[in-house]
Structures are given as C-alpha cells and as structure tokens.
Amino acid sequence: MKVAHSDEAVPGPLGNASDKVPAIEIQDLCKTFGKFQAVDHLTLTVQQGEIFGLLGPNGSGKTTTINMISGLTVPTSGSVRVHGYDVRHSAREVRQILGAVPQETALYEELSAWANMDFHADLFGIPPREKKQRINAMLEIVQLTDRKNSRVGTFSGGMKRRLALGRALLHDPKLIYLDEPTLGIDVQARRAIWDYILQLRSQGKTVLITTNYLEEAQALCDRLAIIDHGKLIAVDTPQHLKQSYGGSVVELETADAISEVAKIQALEGIKEVKQENTHLTITTQGTGNIVPQIINIVSQESEIRAITIREPDLDEIFLRLTGTALRD
C-alpha cells in the first residue's frame, strides 16, 4: 500500500480543469492546539471524480483536517490545495469550489425550502437571472419541488438532509464535502441519498465523505483513508484494504473445545486464531492450502459441525488497524 504524495507547487491555481490537478492535495499537514497534536504530518491526495472516505474514531483528527481543507482552521505547518489553490492564500476561490453539508445541516427552520435556497444563492453571488432556474432545478433533483413553500421545521430528517445537499450544490461546486451524510435518517432516505451521491461522481464531481458507517463507506467510496490520533494509518480501496489487512476468515463450530490451538496458529499463512468455547475464528492470508490443514488438525480432536469461509468486513479491518471500534 502506498500513501500518495504530490510535488510541491506554487501558490494559486495550477493550469485548468483539463489538466486534472488533484481535487485535494495535503502535504505534511500538522495542527497543534497547545501541546495536543490533532493532525500529525498528514499527506494525502484525492483525485478529481473520486468519492473519497475519511474514517476515524472520535478525536482522530478528521474534523480538524476537514476544517483545514475548508479554510476554517489555519494549519500549524504543511499545506492544503483544493483544485490547485493554496487554501491559505486563495480562501475565496476555494469557497467557490467547495460545497459542504455539515453534520448539523444549519438550515433556517422557520423559513421555507425555497427561502433557504434563495438565501444561499445570494450568499454565493449567483446572478439574479439564473437564480430561479437553478433553485427550481435543484429542488427537483432532491425531490422537494412539491414542498418548496413548506416551512423546513416541518420536514423529516431525510428531507432536511436532501435540502442541505441541494443547497450545497446550488453554486455548482467541483468538490462536495459531506459530514455523516445519512446520520439519523431512515433506511429508505439513506438509500436515496446514496444513489444521489453516486450520481454526483458520474457528473465528474469529487465527493469527500466522513462517516462512521462502514457499510456506507464500502457502498460509496472509491478509496478510504483511515486516520487515528492525527496520523494516516492506511489509504486504499475498500477491497484492497480487506485483502491487505484482513485475509479470509475461517469459522468452525466443533462438538468440543479444541486444545491444540497453537498448532493452528503455527501454520504458515495464519494471522490470528480466536477460540470461544466450541467456536473457532481463524484469520488467514489465503484459503488455498490452509483450510485442509486446519480441518486435519481440528478433526483429530473433535467433530466439525459447521465451517464457513468469508471475507473480513471493514469493521474488523478498522479494529485491527487502530485497536479501536469505529462506533462505540
């Protein structure tokens, strides 16, 4: 696994969109608060058109990193570029490129959906001749046209999320940041938002997601970065992370507890063996010639009542890499 590095560049935009500069370039980024190191020499590149997931437990440095990408927090050292713009020197340009949906949607609940969108359009300087058409088009995309005159305080959690997403896209940003995009909403609304996020990628948008739902990360993300204690632990596709850090998982149910667990652990290609009474969970680097050897050892002691072979899930990979569960 390689962590992407990019060459140093001069401040300001680098070329044009066709040059395919990275959507986000983070170089040796650090942020300290007093003696606390929130982000520790982080280097990361997100390419244009990716759905990129940023994963980490509470206190891992995710939020601080996002705040530095957004220009809300000044780095202690290192650099951040968004589409070639240095965030420190070109904050205004970065704001025009970025659309954000924070965990707290920050909608004006006493106003209608239309009024919320209208206010955002004015904030981002959308020309009056384009504003009405853009708002109508976006409300249609997020399926809220029939509720455009309704007070936002009457909306469900899923409707508020969709409105916040539409608002963030109103000024046609190249990069969209979504913080826990489906937190607290029902399964049906979650699937609708997932579908729309995937559509954004097909439109050439770059989507940066922070999520504590590993199912969500696997369903949406082209690549994932795992951050813990401010450091980059791993970055890769969900599939490669599972292959590189998981291996296959062999589960056996036996009639009696096995005493020769050490023999299984000693086999070449065995990463980990866990035993709970008559249940064995064995993590391997491959299933080729290992499973017959496992069966041979176990069957000498007890009858095997069930055996399954599966890939590890991202929860297991995350726990193995960080020693911490993503969701407590």
Please give the average per-residue pLDDT across 86-99, as a whole number: 91
Q: Where are the domains of the chain?
A: 24-242, 247-310
Cα Rg for the chain, rounded, in angstroms? 24
- Per-residue pLDDT band for 240 (boundaries 50, 70, 90) equals confident
Residue 161 has pLDDT above 50, yes or no: yes
Strands 77-82 vs 304-310: parallel, antiparallel or unpaired: unpaired
Report pLDDT for 288: 60
Chain position carrying tokens 């850090």: 245
Please tell me the CATH superfamily of domain 24-242, with its number.
P-loop containing nucleotide triphosphate hydrolases (3.40.50.300)
* 13-to-46, 74, 82, 104, 250 alpha-carbon distances in Å: 16, 19, 9, 31, 51
Other CB atoms within 10 A of residue 158 CB: 18
Quote the mean pLDDT of the chain. Answer: 86
Q: Chain centroid to CA 87: how far? A: 21
- Report the largest interatomic distance among the alpha carbons of the chain, rounded to a whole angstrom: 80
- Confidence class for position 8, pLDDT limits 50, 70, 90: very low
What percentage of the chain has pLDDT greater than the value 70?
Answer: 91
Which range among 76-90, 220-234, 235-249 shows the weakest confidence by mean pLDDT?
Answer: 235-249
CB atoms within 10 A of CB 85: 22
Which has more confidence, 286 or 129?
129
Each residue of 271-292: pLDDT tens digit? 889 999 999 999 887 556 788 8
Contact in structure between 69 and 44 (CB atoms under 8 Å): no
Given the structure tokens 């300087």, which residue do they identify?
125
For 295, other C-beta atoms within 10 Å of its C-beta total 14
Q: What is the dotted CATH code of the domain comprising 247-310?
A: 3.30.70
**10-17, Cβ contacts within 8 angstroms, sequence gap of 24 or more:** 11/86, 11/89, 11/90, 12/84, 12/85, 12/86, 12/89, 12/90, 13/83, 13/84, 13/85, 13/90, 13/93, 14/81, 14/84, 15/84, 17/48, 17/83, 17/174
Confidence of residue 102 (pLDDT cuts 50, 70, 90): confident
Per-residue pLDDT, averaged over 223-242, amounts to: 90
Confidence of residue 118 (pLDDT cuts 50, 70, 90): very high
Does residue 326 register a pLDDT over 60? yes
In this prediction, residue 214 carries a pLDDT of 82
pLDDT attached to residue 12: 42
Beta carbons of 79 and 22 less than 8 angstroms apart: no
Residue 25 — very low, low, confident or very high, per pLDDT cuts 50/70/90?
very high
